[in-house]
Each structure stands twice: as structure tokens, then as C-alpha cells.
Structure 1
Amino acid sequence: MRYLPFCLLALLSPLAFSQLPDNDIFLVELSWSKSEDGRSLPKLGPARNITKQPGYENQAHFLPDGQILYTASRDGKQTDIFRFDPKSGNTTQVTATPESEFSPTLMMDGRHFSVVRVEADQTQRLWQFPLDGGEPRLILPEVTSVGYHTWLSPTQLALFIVGEPHRLVWVDVAKSQPKTLLNDVGRCFTLAPDKKSLYAVHKPEGKTWQILQLGLSDQKREVLAETVEGAEDYVWTPDGALLMARESRLYLLHPKRDKQWRQIADLADQGLKGITRLALDHKGRYLTLVSATKL
């Protein structure tokens, strides 16, 4: 079963850049084997720090060729998008603008990527850049307060809209009229294999957080699982399992077979803690994690 591994991670509200956390992105190679009960379980290789810079590095996104787009602040004033090549170890700066770009996400044409851009007046809107360089273009002029996004088709998106409450909305680029799908939503949501529904984290105040399957047309809700306590970032593996992290520990759950999360790794001995922001390449071979601790 194939899941689209977008974990959409942008700015939740306009922040002073002194408030952005000091963290790094780590790359881990996974090797998979079958357990005694038939479940696929990963074995993690060493965690490799792929950023190694002071300041904010976050929001990794795998491209089909295995390269990784991510957000970073190099001057402490604003953020740009960078690209890391795991094969060569080279890092390339992709955007260099006075504005701040967050949450790089490959668009379905394969030639552009979209970002949440914090404009000069602190308006947060969705823009696109050519992957190979060029001028940006505003995608949804009338839709503001965008925090996160994922593409559902070449013209349709799911957006996290910052507000009270935070909302998950559906929007067509041609119509620019968002339709609310869920309130009190978390920052990580993914397109389901049937492309007719979304998976999203529901975070109602004072209640247990849950991963829901949410119909795009009928908004029918089905609870897949409770999240790992206090965690909201997840990725799907190619065989339909969920990965989540808390502190230094990584957990796995097959929603259709498991009732409880299973701890599969603890990266504390490698110096990682406070892990957030997971991303997995489409083959399930490489995982990125964001950690507040430097190696």
C-alpha cells in the first residue's frame, strides 16, 4: 500500500527569528525485516547530521531522486530553502530572498516546489519556485495565514490555516475558496492512497490526540489510532505502518493490526532528543528526523 509521505511543516504564526529553535536534521538509513508475527520492522543505521550549522534547520522533504529540500536560517534574520544530496554530501542554496520561505514541497508537475512564504508585512501565503531556479509565483493570492500544505492533485490542496482554532481546509487553485474539513488540526496531514481522503491529526483541547481518516467530499471521519502521547508528527511506511517519535524514541504501529505503539529504537545514545519533524523517502529506505541536540 503506497502512502504519499508529505509531512507538512511550516510556520504556525509570525515569529521573531530569535524564537526559532536551534536544531539539526539527521538522516538515518533503514533496513527492513519481518518479525515473528509477520510485521515489517526497521533496523536503524547511524544518525547522520546533514546540516551541522548553528541555528534553525527543519522541514525536510524528499525529492524522487533522493535529494532533500529543507528550510534553514543562515543569518538569523530570515529563512531560505536548501537542497542536500546524500550521495555527494553537497548542500546547495535554492532560494535567496528577503522574504522567508518554509515547508518546501514538490509539486505534482515535478518541476516546481511550493513554499509558505512570510512576506514583508508578515502575511503568510503559498508561493511556488522552479526546482532548477527562477522567479517565484504567488499561487493563492487571496488565501492568507497558511501554515502547512500538501498537494492533492495538480490544482487542489489541503491547507493548515492559522487561527482560533487552527483549521484544515480544502481549496482549488482556480476557485480560491477554502472549504473547512477539520478544526483543531495538527501540523501533519497526508493524502490517502485512494486520493479521496486525508489522514490528519486531531488535537481537541483537553482530549486524546487521534489520527483520523477524513473524507474530502463527505467529511466522514474514521479514527485510525491514537497518537504517541504528546507527538503529532508521523510518516507512513510503504507497507502501511505509521512511524512517530517522542523525545529520543521511535515508535511503529500497523493501524489495521496493532492496538498499541511498539518502540523500535532509542537514539539517545547518539545524542538525539526532542525529536520532531519526520520525513521518509518513497522507498522507505531513508528517514529524516529533527533533533534539538547537536552531534
Structure 2
Amino acid sequence: MFDVKKLAWCLFVMACVSLSFGSKGQVASDLILVSISDIKDHRHFSVTRITDNEEYSNQPYFTPSGEGVYFTQALGKDAAQTDIFYYNLTDKTSTNLTHSAGLSEYSATPTSKGFSSILVDEAGKQWLWSFSSEGKSLGKLHPAEPVGYHVWEKPETALAFVLGEPHTLQRLYSNGSASIIDSNIGPSLWSIPNQNAVSYTKEFGGDNNLWLMSLAEGKAKASKLTIMPNNVTYYTWLKDGAVLTAQGPQLLLNHVFTENPRWVPWLDLSAYCGSVSRIHSYQQEKALKLAVVCESPSDKLKAE
């Protein structure tokens, strides 16, 4: 029997990927920086812009030092070309790192050599690629293709969202081999703080409900943590093991490792954004910074 719900889920995930990888018609978005000086008093915060344009600015990732943010930037409103940019939080300037004519890069992730990203070549193939901190190409990291998203499990091992029928979670080894871990996964992969584990989302049973999953380092089977809110794909982790996500302009928090985990309202960004999608966090003691993808910026944000 034709499974309408399964088809809807596949179309949704493919839409997430196509918006990220070379699709003309990418959703215009800006990046904002939310600064909270004391996470216990998180309702007192400031907001500044990272980008201010009508193009696709997305996929933020703080550097390990917290001094800057990598992000994906489309070049020209209707262009499929994207490069990896770096935003310096101190002098508030953005620098194009990759400058790759004819190629596109997405999803920068810090490494010991600089950063890794997904490189889309002239033929439209999507590879896991290595770059220096200055943006110099260091070469292909693995023969797997097409790679959509990735997270580093160990310096020599990545977990990757690989497109296919169905989309799969694969463990990519430095010797070029790979093993399939799971299927029907979502596009948000992160390391879990203070654990040798990574997280991802997965759809079960064709009902489009996403579960947040935990996969221990080197293991082949993941465990369920909690169900995600309706129509929510992206999330980030805080240092204490809480998960932060967004539903519209409202940030929601869940202490998933407690006995009765549940999503609760945490921070309202409706004064700045009509909707929030991706989030990345950097926390140092009590202070928390959030790099937030803001869709449909409000008049207040436009005026800043």
C-alpha cells in the first residue's frame, strides 16, 4: 500500500537538504547573536546581527574558543553558489574563507587542521572535505557520496548523513571504509556534551514524529532520548546536557537525561524573528552565546 506519511517525511528531509546544497530558491535568512551573561537569568539578554542581507545565511558553528562563528553564505540572491564565512565576534567583521568559484561549501565544522565541510563539486557531487583555518582546500576526507551533514565522533571517524533511499547514518573511517548505522534520520547531528556519544534525529513508524537519538562512540545501535516537538528538526546542546530547540520564535528547553524529560518554553525571540531554525551554542561558565538562524526578521531587528 502507498504510504503517504512516509512519502511526506522523505519529501521533508529532501527539502531540508535541497535548501542547503546548491538549490536556487534557498530560504533567505539572517544570523543573529543572542548573548546571555547569566544562564540562570536567561530572560535578560542582548541581540546583535551577524549578517544583514537578503540571501541565505545559515548553518552557524562556533569555533572551539568561542571567538568566532563559521557559517554558510549564499553569494547573490538567486545564486546557488555558497562559501564558508567566518564572523569575528571581537571586531564584528565577516570574512569569506573559501572563495571557491564553481564550487559550493556547506556545514563547516571545526577540526584540528581548521574545519571540515561538505563540498559540492562542478558535477553536483557532495563530498566531506578538509580545509585549513584560512580556508585553503586540503582535500577529500572520504569517498562516501553524497554526504549531506556530518559530525566528528573522533578525530579519525565521522558520522555522516548520506543521501539515498532511505537517507542513512553512516560511520566514515579514515581508511575509506564505512558502515551503515541507521536509516530515516534527520539532518541535525551533534556531539553530546560530557559524553562519548553523538545525537541525531530519527523518524519512526511513518508518522513523521522525530525522536532524538543517542549513539555511543563506536557502537552500532542508538537509544531514544526524547521525542521532538511537532515540526521541529534542529536543536543544540547546552553544557549541562539540556537540549535547546525552537518552535517558531520560541526557544524550548528539555533536560533529556532526567527522569521525566519534557519541553518547556525558555526564551521568546518573537521581538526579533518570525521564526528560528538552526541554533548553535557556546557556553563559558555562566555566560551563554547562541548563534541563531532568523527567518522573517522583525522590524525591530531590521532597525538595528
TM-score range, shorter chain: 0.7 to 0.9
1:12 aligned counterpart, secondary structure: helix
Q: Within 5 Å, which residues of 2 pair with 1:185-204?
A: 185-193=185-193, 196-204=196-204
Question: Structure 1 length as normaliser, TM-score?
Answer: 0.86
Matched, 1:80 2:64: no
2:12 maps to none
Matched, 1:156 2:162: no
2:34 aligned counterpart, secondary structure: strand
Q: Within 5 Å, which residues of 2 pair with 1:1-295?
A: 12-13=17-18, 17-34=23-40, 42-65=42-65, 66-75=67-76, 76-98=79-101, 99-107=103-111, 109=112, 111-140=113-142, 142-174=143-175, 176-193=176-193, 196-204=196-204, 205-257=206-258, 258-270=260-272, 272-283=273-284, 285-294=288-297, 295=302
Q: Is the 8 A contact 2:278 2:293 kept in 1?
A: yes
C-alpha spacing 1:149/1:18, structure 2 compared with 1 (3 Å): same
Structure 2 unaligned regions, length at least 5? 1-14
Q: Is the 8 A contact 2:57 2:72 kept in 1?
A: yes
| Residue type of the alignment partner of 1:47 | V
Deviation for aligned residue 1:50: 1.0
| Residue type of the alignment partner of 1:93 | N
* Aligned residue pair count: 275
Deviation for aligned residue 1:67: 0.4
Distance (Å, rounded) in 2 between the aligned partners of 1:60 and 1:126: 17
Answer 1 or 2: higher relative contact order, Cα 8 Å, separation at least 6: 1
Distance (Å, rounded) in 1 between the aligned partners of 2:248 and 2:199: 23
1:88 aligned counterpart, secondary structure: coil
Deviation for aligned residue 1:235: 1.0
1:169 aligned counterpart, secondary structure: strand
C-alpha spacing 1:11/1:254, structure 2 compared with 1 (3 Å): closer
Q: Is the 8 A contact 2:193 2:239 kept in 1?
A: no
Distance (Å, rounded) in 1 between the aligned partners of 2:45 and 2:82: 30
| Residue type of the alignment partner of 2:236 | V
Deviations 1:133-184 (A, max 9, x none): 43441111x211100011112211000001121111101122x222111111
C-alpha spacing 1:193/1:57, structure 2 compared with 1 (3 Å): closer
| Residue type of the alignment partner of 2:127 | R
2:169 aligned counterpart, secondary structure: strand
1:113 aligned counterpart, secondary structure: strand
Distance (Å, rounded) in 2 between the aligned partners of 1:15 and 1:64: 25
Distance (Å, rounded) in 2 between the aligned partners of 1:244 and 1:193: 16
Q: Is the 8 A contact 2:22 2:82 kept in 1?
A: no
Distance (Å, rounded) in 2 between the aligned partners of 1:81 and 1:27: 18
Identity %: 24
* Cα root mean square deviation, aligned: 2.1
| Residue type of the alignment partner of 1:254 | H
C-alpha spacing 1:198/1:70, structure 2 compared with 1 (3 Å): same
Q: Is the 8 A contact 1:44 1:265 kept in 2?
A: no
Deviations 1:115-140 (A, max 9, x none): 10110000000111110243441111
1:37 maps to none
